[in-house]
Amino acid sequence: MKESRSRKRGSRLYYRILGGIFALLFLVFFVLNLVLPDRTLSVREKRMLSGFPAPQIDRVLAGDYSGDFEDYASDQIPFREFFTDLKVFADSLVGRNESQGVYRGRDGRLIEKMETPDDAVVSRTVSAMRRFAGLFPLPQQLILVPNAVSILADELPLWAPTADQHEFSESIAAQLEGSGIGFKDLETALLTAGLDGIPLYYRTDHHWTTDAALACAPAVLKTLGRSFTGKGSLLPVTHDFSGSLSAKSGLSMRERDTISVWQPDEEPVCLVTDSAGKRAGLYSWDGLNSSDPYTVFLGGNEGLVRVETDRIGAGRLLVFKDSYFNCFLPFLTAEFETIDVVDPRYYSGDLLMLMRQNEYDQILYFYNINTFAADTSLALVLGEAAEQEGGQ
Amino acid sequence: MNRNNLRARLPYLLTAAVLAVLTIVFLLSRRPVGSTDSSEPAGRIYVSEAAERAAAEAQAKIREARQSAAAASAEAASSGTPASSGTPAASDPAASPSADPGPDVPSETASVPPASSEAELLLASLREQVRTLDIALFSPEELASWRRRFDNAVFIGDSLSQAFISYGFFDEDHVKYKRSASISQLDDQIQAAIDRLPDTVIFFTGLNDVSFFINDPTQYYEAYLEKVNQVHSALPNAQIFVISLLPCSDALAASDYHLARSPEFDAQLKRLDPSSPARYLDCHWLVRQELYLDDGIHFTESFYTLLIQYLALETGL
């Protein structure tokens, strides 16, 4: 009797405490949400956080407002980083090793998975390139860099589903046949380099390393009709690089990568012009101290960067590229007088005017396969120029 | 009884223990590894003075190399030897398999010494166009070549300069403007222009200053002088031009006493020519009443077409 009563009392206390804590949690977070100021930038995730959505009647009626508000609430929740860590930790306990399209491979290496490419998107890009090549019959090459997901397939988690990059690049080669656009897939060069034990990809980032770029430089320059002398050395500039894959997935947050840069023995005089002004030299060293040290290569996301060197008469090159090209650029500077680097994702200028203003000798398309397979901006930029030219 | 009690609490205790262990493991797993995240956003934030100097040096070296290449190819052409390519001037033999021989050697440098008669011809044609108002706009190809010639120039000014962008002549990189601003309010634009390390800086401002300095036109001169010197001290090798202060339309001048005083201000601007590193470019002869927009202050595309050609002539671009 007595025992059961005390037990009853005990359990009543237990439920009280439980309920109390539960209610308290709500209250505490409610108050914290009100009191703490909104943050705008997540340094760790390398993105802007959503701000408070001003209620607009049309969005409320369309039913979008609650979605906006949810984004805001989840971006601005107090201790956000703690909770994302908690989720990743809980996931790892139950054996999940994929988050936001990123796999955690053997010994913690992060590998971005490749989505199955949309044939319509890809063929639009390729036909835009063909049309552009028809209007500007310059020597031109497409160079595709395979990603870690195919080169380091051994390190993927067992049976991780992903698209086949080798097959993809073969289909691109077939589609470019007879267009006057040369095609080069760096798969062999990278696989060979991998056998030599060269680290090809960052462990926490989706980019290839400068080591890998160096290993591919002879092949690329040969495609461009140049030769690579290879006199220089790789200089590690930071050991504290936590890359975008880590940021995106929340996995391997404690891993740090090393970024190296290529230092040629005989550095050409080199002037880089981008939206922020002009600077001398191949690298923007300020980038190393920013939240994204990869910006040491070519700065941040720029639509058009012009690189001028003192190799007068060595030719003028136009490059359409994604960020894989950023660390490759230094291998080209000794071989060209001017290199104009266009990233179609951020380019808002007039491509046709650019073509007319500068008599380019050569065009280079330089993409990693993941980006090329999903990219829509290249087709847009090329198509716009082709339309203007064709319309006249 | 104790044992019973314990047995009854065992599930709670076990749960608590497991939770405690997990918590400890979790907290250990997120122990910070030397905080490296700086709060600065990605990308370049500012350019240090040393970096600015390095960039200027690199630009000078490249220009020198270009000029010597152009000179070499001109020499080769005049001596009749078939120069195989621009290689003799290329400082490094590594750049051997150059895809292009001489022809593309920068047209700007090749055209630096234009026959003076050619310039006179162009001037005459401009005058004729102003007189007859039969003004030929640029074809896309011509526009491209004008842009190439002005590639190392930057315009600084107010809405009059902005028109270079609005009419599609030049882009934001080559025109730094602030609408309705006085010359004394253009510090950001001047800095942005300096950051581009141009060879040529052209000031083109309008009537905003007339109302800004209405009490004392000499202050207008002083403000301008200060800005010109600012540019000159940052870019000692750059040539600086100041386009004359163009009047408003006659119709507007008749009704606006302030704006009608603009010639007084233009006279002040003219003083810059002898007393500062800047050259004053008198463009009054380009102004015709028909070339004003309806507001009587701004000008039409045709006017700018002529202006650009005249500027190229005067600046040697």
Given a cut of 80, is residue B98 above it in pLDDT? no
Residues B137, B196 share a domain: yes
The chain-wide mean pLDDT, for chain B, equals 81
Q: Quote the pLDDT of residue A211.
A: 95
Nearest to B196 among A277, A284, A290 (CB): A277
Joined together, the tokens standing for residue A289 give 């101290």
Q: Chain A window 201-230: which residues touch B at a Cβ cutoff of 8 Å?
A: 225-227, 229
Residues A161, A63 share a domain: no
Nearest to A280 among B22, B58, B68 (CB): B58
Which chain B residues are closer than 8 Å to A256 by Cβ?
A: 33, 36
Length of chain A in terms of residues written: 392
Contacts of A222 (CB under 8 A, 6+ apart): A228
Count of Cβ atoms closer than 10 Å to residue A323 Cβ: 20
Residues A160, A20 share a domain: no
Whether the Cβ atoms of residue B303 and residue B137 lie closer than 8 Å to each other: no
Query: Which residue, A225, A218, A156, is CA-closest to A188?
Result: A218
- Using only C-alpha atoms, chain B has a radius of gyration, in whole angstroms, of 31
Contact B54 A291 (CB under 8 A): no
Sign of CA dihedral A189, A192, A196, A197: positive
Residues A348, A260 share a domain: yes
CA distance B107 to A100: 52
Joined together, the tokens standing for residue B210 give 């007339």
Count of Cβ atoms closer than 10 Å to residue A31 Cβ: 11
Count of Cβ atoms closer than 10 Å to residue A264 Cβ: 18
Given a cut of 90, is residue B289 above it in pLDDT? yes
Categorize the per-residue pLDDT at B169 as very low, low, confident or very high, splitting at 50, 70 and 90: very high
Nearest to B105 among A227, A280, A313 (CB): A313
Query: Which residue, B300, B283, B302, B310, is CA-closest to B149?
Result: B310
Q: Chain A window 137-176: which residues touch B at a Cβ cutoff of 8 Å?
A: 139
Which chain B residues are closer than 8 Å to A254 by Cβ?
A: 29, 33
Query: Which residue, A237, A232, A276, A270, is CA-closest to B54?
Result: A270
Joined together, the tokens standing for residue A139 give 């020597």
Asked if B54 reaches chain A (Cβ–Cβ under 8 Å), the answer is yes
Contacts of A48 (CB under 8 A, 6+ apart): A40, A41, A42
Residues B269, B174 share a domain: yes
Residue of A13, A255, A337 to mutate when probing chain B, most B C-beta within 10 A? A337
Asked if B37 reaches chain A (Cβ–Cβ under 8 Å), the answer is yes
Which chain B residues are closer than 8 Å to A315 by Cβ?
A: 98-100
Contact A309 B62 (CB under 8 A): yes
Query: Which residue, B42, B27, B30, B46, is CA-closest to A43?
Result: B42
Phi, psi of B293 (to 5 degrees): -75, 175
Given a cut of 80, is residue B80 above it in pLDDT? no
CA distance B304 to B312: 12
Contacts of B129 (CB under 8 A, 6+ apart): B135, B136, B306
Contact B141 A356 (CB under 8 A): yes
Closest chain A CA to residue B151? A357
Count of Cβ atoms closer than 10 Å to residue A63 Cβ: 8
Which of B63, B95, B127 is the C-terminal boundary of a domain?
A: B95
Which residues constitute the domain of residue B69? Answer: 50-95
Q: Quote the pLDDT of residue A389.
A: 81
Give Cα B35 to chain centroid, integer Å: 40
Distance from CA of A172 to the nearest CA of B (A): 27
Residues A141, A81 share a domain: no
Which chain B residues are closer than 8 Å to A104 by Cβ?
A: none
Q: Quote the pLDDT of residue B47.
A: 52
Q: Chain B window 66-85: which residues touch A at a Cβ cutoff of 8 Å?
A: 66, 68-69, 85
- Domain count within chain B: 2
State pLDDT tens for residues A102-135: 998 878 899 999 889 999 999 999 999 999 999 9
Given a cut of 70, is residue B92 above it in pLDDT? no
Give CA separation, B200 vs B194, B205, B240, in Å: 10, 16, 6
Distance from CA of A137 to the nearest CA of B (A): 15
Q: Chain B window 5-24: which residues touch A at a Cβ cutoff of 8 Å?
A: 8, 22
Nearest to A286 among B44, B66, B69 (CB): B44
Query: Which residue, A367, A87, A357, A219, is CA-closest to B171?
Result: A357
Q: Which residues of chain A have pLDDT under 70?
A: 1-10, 391-392
User: Is B35 inside a domain boundary?
Assistant: no
CA distance A270 to B19: 59
Residues B54, B187 share a domain: no
Residues B211, B249 share a domain: yes
Whether the Cβ atoms of residue A205 and residue A257 lie closer than 8 Å to each other: yes
Which chain B residues are closer than 8 Å to A284 by Cβ?
A: 44
Which chain A residues are closer than 8 Å to B8 by Cβ?
A: 7
Nearest to A310 among B22, B55, B61 (CB): B61
Residues B296, B154 share a domain: yes
Residues A368, A327 share a domain: yes
Strands A110-112 and A140-145: unpaired
Closest chain B CA to residue A338? B62
User: Is B295 inside a domain boundary?
Assistant: yes
Residues A264, A379 share a domain: yes
Sign of CA dihedral A128, A134, A135, A139: positive
What DSSP line would sit under A341-366, residue for residue?
A: EE-TTT--S-HHHHHHHS--SEEEEE
Asked if B95 reaches chain A (Cβ–Cβ under 8 Å), the answer is yes
State pLDDT tens for residues B231-280: 999 888 889 999 999 999 999 999 988 899 999 999 999 999 888 899 99
Residues A129, A78 share a domain: no
Residues B268, B169 share a domain: yes
Residues B164, B134 share a domain: yes
Length of chain B in terms of residues written: 317
State pLDDT tens for residues A284-320: 888 888 878 898 998 878 899 999 998 888 899 999 9
Whether the Cβ atoms of residue A322 and residue A371 lie closer than 8 Å to each other: yes
Residues A80, A13 share a domain: yes
Q: Any idea what DSSP says for residue B213? A: T
Joined together, the tokens standing for residue A233 give 């050395």
Given a cut of 70, is residue B1 above it in pLDDT? no
Given a cut of 50, is residue B110 above it in pLDDT? no
Residues B212, B71 share a domain: no
Which residues constitute the domain of residue A102? Answer: 2-107
User: Is B258 inside a domain boundary?
Assistant: yes
Whether the Cβ atoms of residue A257 and residue A246 lie closer than 8 Å to each other: no
Closest chain B CA to residue A4? B5
Asked if A362 reaches chain B (Cβ–Cβ under 8 Å), the answer is yes
Contact B42 A3 (CB under 8 A): no
User: Is B263 inside a domain boundary?
Assistant: yes
Given a cut of 70, is residue B112 above it in pLDDT? no
Residues B230, B88 share a domain: no
E strand segments, A248-353? 257-264, 270-274, 277-280, 304-309, 316-321, 338-342
Residues B165, B71 share a domain: no
Contact B37 A44 (CB under 8 A): yes
Per-residue b or e along A82-92, where b marks 16 or more CB atoms closer than 10 Å to that residue's CB: eebbeebbebe
Contact B89 A357 (CB under 8 A): no
Nearest to B44 among A256, A266, A287 (CB): A287
Which chain B residues are closer than 8 Å to A310 by Cβ?
A: 61-62, 65, 91
Which of A72, A107, A142 is the C-terminal boundary of a domain?
A: A107
Which chain A residues are closer than 8 Å to B102 by Cβ?
A: 313
Residues A30, A71 share a domain: yes
Whether the Cβ atoms of residue A145 and residue A216 lie closer than 8 Å to each other: yes
The CATH number for B267's domain is 3.40.50.1110
Contact B196 A256 (CB under 8 A): no
Residue of B30, B57, B84 to mutate when probing chain A, most A C-beta within 10 A? B30
Q: Quote the pLDDT of residue A220.
A: 95
Contact A269 B61 (CB under 8 A): yes
CA distance B204 to B299: 13
- Cα-Cα end-to-end distance for chain A: 99
Closest chain A CA to residue B98? A314
Residues B123, B80 share a domain: no
User: Is B164 inside a domain boundary?
Assistant: yes
Categorize the per-residue pLDDT at B82 as very low, low, confident or very high, splitting at 50, 70 and 90: very low
What DSSP line would sit under A126-186, residue for residue?
A: HHHHHHHHHHS---EEEEEE--HHHHTGGGSPTT-----HHHHHHHHHHHHTTTTEEEEET
Asked if B171 reaches chain A (Cβ–Cβ under 8 Å), the answer is yes
Residues A371, A312 share a domain: yes
User: Is B311 inside a domain boundary?
Assistant: yes
User: Is B29 inside a domain boundary?
Assistant: no
Residue with tokens 């008749």: B254
User: Is B28 inside a domain boundary?
Assistant: no
Whether the Cβ atoms of residue A207 and residue A327 lie closer than 8 Å to each other: yes
Q: Quote the pLDDT of residue B231.
A: 93
Residues A202, A273 share a domain: yes
Sign of CA dihedral B218, B224, B229, B230: positive
Which chain B residues are closer than 8 Å to A85 by Cβ?
A: 26, 29-30
Query: Which residue, B208, B200, B214, B164, is CA-closest to B184?
Result: B208
Per cent of chain B over pLDDT 70 is 81
Count of Cβ atoms closer than 10 Å to residue A295 Cβ: 23
Distance from CA of A188 to the nearest CA of B (A): 26
- Domain count within chain A: 2
Q: Quote the pLDDT of residue A392.
A: 54
Residues B216, B128 share a domain: yes
For A187-198, the three-class secondary structure string (H helix, E strand, C coil) is HHHHHHHHHCCC
Whether the Cβ atoms of residue A143 and residue A190 lie closer than 8 Å to each other: no
Joined together, the tokens standing for residue A263 give 């230092």
Q: A–B: how many Cβ contacts below 8 A?
A: 172
Single-letter code of the amino acid located at B112: V
Report ipTM (2 d.p.): 0.71
CA distance A324 to A370: 11
Residues A274, A317 share a domain: yes
CA distance A295 to A78: 30
Sign of CA dihedral A85, A91, A94, A97: negative
Which chain B residues are closer than 8 Å to A351 by Cβ?
A: none
Closest chain A CA to residue B12? A14
Strand-pair partners of A141: A182, A364
Which chain B residues are closer than 8 Å to A316 by Cβ?
A: 100, 104
Region of residue A155 (left: phi > 0; alpha: psi -120 to 50; beta: else): alpha
